[in-house]
A and B are shown apart, each in its own frame.
Chain A
Amino acid sequence: MELYITELSKYVITLFIALYTLECFLVFRFQEEERRKGIYIRQNFLMFLVHFSCFLVICFETGKIEYLLFYILQQILLFATIMLFRMIYPRGNRLIINNLCMLLSIGFVILSRLSYERAIKQFFIVTVSLMMSMMIPYFIHKLKFLKSLTWVYAGVGIAALGVVLILGSVTYGSKISYSIGGVTFQPSEFVKIIFVFFLASALSESHDFLRVAVTAVLAGIHVLILVASKDLGSALIFFIVYVMMVFIATGQWVYLLLGVAGGSAAAVAAYQLFSHVQVRVQAWRDPFSCIDAAGFQITQSLFGISSGGWFGLGLFRGNPTAIPLVEADFVFSAVAEELGIVFSMCLILICLSCFIMFMNIAIKLQNEFYRLIAFGLGITYIFQVFLTIGGGTKFIPMTGVTLPFISYGGSSILTSLIMFFIIEGLHIIRQDEGDRRAKKKRRRRRTEYEKARDKEIETDEAGEDEEEEE
């Protein structure tokens, strides 16, 4: 009986997630949130189905009632998040909040399968983090002084990273976290956001050569501290975010080229200087030659991904716990193994649709500071997704970063939530901007109309319309 459920559910789950993913992209057919309403409701329904079918399988496979209770709690949390968000922020972007909840529920499913205790812990972290970060859009909207804290951001960021370097505990060969009162923090996660604020405020004030050079020095300090902490993944994220944001702020391709050239030179230098970089590159090029040592993680990850086939082995039917660090850095491989390649590709596409929405919001923002924040956070997010999935699938060398919302880990969850809710805040700001512009436009049109009526001359509105659509 349970076999029928597992086998059938593989295809059903895949179908639901594929439909959900499709809706993620159909959203972009419409410009106004109002017209996307139907899509969002269908998405909520599909999310529920995916989450429900996965837990149905888990309950049947384990035969344990606590999973059912746990599922109900999750369902309440996710439902409350979506409803509360709509009530508090009627003008928020619902694709982002839907995707956030979809990714969280995939995270709950796969963590429940991997380790029940950790899933429970994760659930509490998510609940608390959600309550905290739910207020963020309001503050982003209201706090106007955020733009003027330029050098404070840099100072805080460097200090936080520096403290870890000096006091941090070593996990898997890199110093990335410290504990206060039993709670482990990974400051590089939070500093990512502060770093984007720093760059956005510094570069929105001015983007002449001097300013770019000063920010380069400060960004360089961030990156060097991370390299010294052996947190290569974060160092890479900070570097890419810096190059991309300078490129967008100045609009000059030469900075992009300089950044790429500098990055390549630094990569070669790092390869020559550090043996742990060489080990990782070797483990990427031919993991099977060092399967006992550096290649062990990546080969186990590849075993997992390839064993599932298109539709996966089914929850609890594979062996993802053979992969070291599977709940954190290699959670994608566990998803691919048990839920299938198609499902995991949909997962990537959902992340991508978040990114496209972020960029969409960035493009429409008038205020340069907010525009750069939206862009910077978008790059931070998608590049992190790229590093973790690319690393786990042997597309690029492994760097050891987490998959936002899915991986186990408090710092990662809280940071990702803050990022997404900041973007929500920016989305609301954009709509305010739009209102003001529309008001201005109406006023202008009215006066023009009056003038035209007075002078009995036709006015040409087409040209203006085009400008407004940008």
Chain B
Amino acid sequence: MRKKRNKQILAVTYLFVAVFLGMMGYTCHYAITHQQELINNSYNSRQEILVAQNTRGTIYADGRQVLARTQTDEDGKETREYPYGNMFSHVVGYASNGRYGIEASANYYLINSNAKLSEKVANDMAGLKYPGDNVVTTLDVDLQQIAYDSLGIYKGAVIVTDPSTGRILAMVSKPDFDPNEIEKIWDDLLEDQESGVLLNRVTQGLYPPGSTFKIVTALEYIRENPDSYSQYSYQCNGRFTLGEETINCYHGTVHGYEDFGKSFAKSCNASFANIGMQLDRTKFADTLEGLLFNQELKVGFAYNQSKLVVDENTEDADMMQAAIGQGTTAVTPLQMNMITCAIANDGMLMKPYLVDHVETHEGNVIKQFETASYKRLMSEKEAGVMNELMQEVVKSGTGTKLSGASYTAAGKTGSAEYNSVKTDSHAWFTGFAPVEDPELCVTIIIEGAGSGGDYAVPIARRIFDAYFE
């Protein structure tokens, strides 16, 4: 009897020991994995301690050009400098007035200092702050410059990535601002609700995708008809009518007899409305989910979710609009770029990232961000088919302004109508080069410019030309 009850005391002892070990494991894990997130919380007063103790680190481009640095004058007053002014305004962001861009996402690294102890001691003696850690980004100043200049006075966005690694090489959003002046212009920018100057249109701008969305529609069609999609044919008379709803081709162009490839290359709305009506809406919803629509993204910067909800209850009229990227569909240039990257990289999307590594002010690497796969968006075979379709766009379709170069390119244009006035459309292009072994993947949107083939493709050409020639 005694012995038995002692067994119960032992059982209770083991129970508490187990609970405590669980609690210890949980606490360690939580504290270490949430360290950065918690220090960045605006309710956490500890970042002020770090800011008071360390000089904010420098942000570098891939080629070691300074994108942001802190200068301290003789009185100890600190100013944050952005040598490139407006060029990197959104992607690098600003460090005051609430923080934005890399200044916000890499804030934890910039305000910490891993300088050598002896150096910290020396700084203590001299009454200086410790040098904060530096952040080296993946951004390429030359590509950013070309993208920035090409967009000119238009509003819009350009993103350039390396599809095989996910490195973001350029990210331009216009209208822009000068981060050097942020404190002075802040109130004006906040008042100006219309133009959304502070918004990074690449990651947060939600646009109708227009014909670039035909990539998704086409992918769904070949998924549902893997053996017979090549036998598809359609006679285009410039419009597609079902019930009371009519879909017109861009500028009412009559494309005549088309197969699947030509429908895509010529971006025939009527044919794609026809294709859209043949799609299984439940499966289409699955594909959308597989392409990261309507969900949170695992990326290290601020973004908006791209939206398009399709299910078995979707009306025919809405389905026709969805198939050609109009209606309620809203995507970010980032989302379009990610899908394009997956096609360029045999179906595998690499996780897009902006920060390559963090180093001390002496250049000792503290944290290296590795290339990582994000998710397989489509099979290798599907990516191959899509790649060919997109090559045909450049060879004989709406993207011919990219043909005849020393490199090969592929892509899809779009002219997204955003109001009832017919002539107004956003010019889109998303594509990559060279097709054999893609190195660059660009996505461009120019607000209200006109057709993608006329306005967006030339910008892609300038970027590719500069990079490959």
Name A's B-contacting residues (CB within 8 A).
Answer: 1-4, 7, 244, 247-248, 251, 288, 291, 296, 299-300, 302-310, 317-319, 322, 336, 341, 344-345, 348-349, 352, 355-356, 359, 362-363, 375, 379, 382, 386, 389-390, 393-395, 470
Contact = CB atoms under 8 A, between A and B. Distances in A.
Given A318-B49, A352-B17, A395-B27, A309 B35 contact: yes
B184 interface: no
Contacts of B17: 352, 356
Given A307-B35, A386-B23, A355 B13 contact: yes
Given A306-B31, A345-B28, A375 B9 contact: yes
Contacts of A355: 13, 16
Interface string B26-57: 11101110110011010111100100000000
Contacts of A352: 16-17, 20
Contact of A359 (B12, B23, B120, B121): B12
Contacts of A356: 13, 17
A300 B43 contact: yes
B348 to A, nearest CB: 34
B24 interface: yes
B12 A307 contact: no
A310 B2 CA distance: 44
Contacts of A345: 24, 27-28
Contacts of B19: 386
B1 A251 contact: yes
B5 interface: yes
Contact of B124 (A3, A244, A296): A3
Given A3-B124, A395-B27, A307 B45 contact: no
B35 A362 contact: no
Contacts of B121: 1, 3-4
3 smallest beta-carbon distances between A and B, as pairs: A306-B31, A303-B44, A393-B27
Contact of B117 (A3, A375, A386, A389): A3
B10 interface: yes
Contacts of A302: 30-31, 34, 38
A305 B9 contact: no
Size bracket, chain B contacts: 35 or more
A259 to B, nearest CB: 12
Given A299-B43, A352-B17, A306 B9 contact: no
A189 to B, nearest CB: 21
Interface string B158-180: 00000000000000000000000
Residue from A288, A304, A349, A359 with most neighbouring chain B CB atoms (10 Å): A359
A362 B26 CA distance: 30
Contact of A318 (B34, B35, B46, B124): B46
Nearest to B124: A3
Contacts of B2: 470
A382 B16 contact: yes
Given A303-B43, A307-B46, A341 B28 contact: yes
B5 A393 contact: no
Nearest to A291: B43
Given A336-B31, A352-B16, 19 more contacts: A247-B12, A248-B5, A291-B41, A299-B43, A303-B39, A303-B44, A303-B45, A305-B30, A307-B35, A307-B38, A310-B32, A352-B20, A355-B16, A359-B9, A379-B12, A389-B23, A393-B30, A395-B22, A395-B26
Given A3-B124, A307-B38, A348-B23, A470 B3 contact: yes
B77 interface: no
A341 B32 contact: yes
A307 B39 contact: yes
Contacts of A3: 117, 120-121, 124
Contacts of A363: 6, 9-10
Given A3-B117, A251-B1, A319 B24 contact: no
B4 interface: yes
Contact of A394 (B3, B30, B45): B30
Given A319-B46, A322-B45, A393-B26, A305 B12 contact: no
Interface of B: 1-6, 8-10, 12-13, 16-17, 19-20, 22-24, 26-28, 30-32, 34-35, 38-39, 41, 43-46, 49, 117, 120-121, 124
Given A345-B24, A395-B26, A359 B46 contact: no
Given A307-B35, A359-B13, A395 B1 contact: no
A306 B117 contact: no
Nearest to B38: A306
Contacts of B34: 302, 306
B39 A248 contact: no
Given A303-B44, A390-B23, A362 B9 contact: yes
B23 A395 contact: yes
A248 B6 CA distance: 8
Contacts of A394: 30
A296 to B, nearest CB: 8
A48 to B, nearest CB: 26
A470 B6 contact: yes
A136 B16 CA distance: 27
Nearest to A308: B31
A468 to B, nearest CB: 13
Nearest to B26: A395
B35 A306 contact: yes
B46 A393 contact: no
B20 A386 contact: yes
A4 B122 CA distance: 11
Contacts of A303: 38-39, 41, 43-46
B292 to A, nearest CB: 25
A437 to B, nearest CB: 13
Nearest to B37: A306
Contacts of A470: 2-3, 6
A298 B71 CA distance: 37
A251 B12 contact: no
A313 B401 CA distance: 59
Q: Max chain B CB contacts within 10 Å: which of A3, A341, A348? A: A3
Contacts of B24: 345, 348-349
B4 A251 contact: yes
Contacts of B16: 352, 355, 382, 386
Contacts of B26: 393, 395
Contacts of A386: 16, 19-20, 23
A7 B35 CA distance: 20
Contacts of B124: 2-3
A4 B117 contact: yes
B31 A341 contact: yes
Given A302-B30, A382-B16, A251 B5 contact: yes
27 contacts: A3-B124, A247-B8, A247-B12, A251-B1, A300-B43, A302-B30, A302-B34, A306-B38, A307-B39, A308-B31, A309-B32, A319-B46, A341-B31, A341-B32, A352-B17, A356-B17, A359-B10, A359-B13, A363-B6, A375-B12, A382-B20, A389-B27, A393-B23, A393-B27, A395-B27, A470-B2, A470-B3
A64 B391 CA distance: 76
A359 B4 CA distance: 15
Nearest to B122: A3
A164 B1 CA distance: 41
A390 B30 CA distance: 12
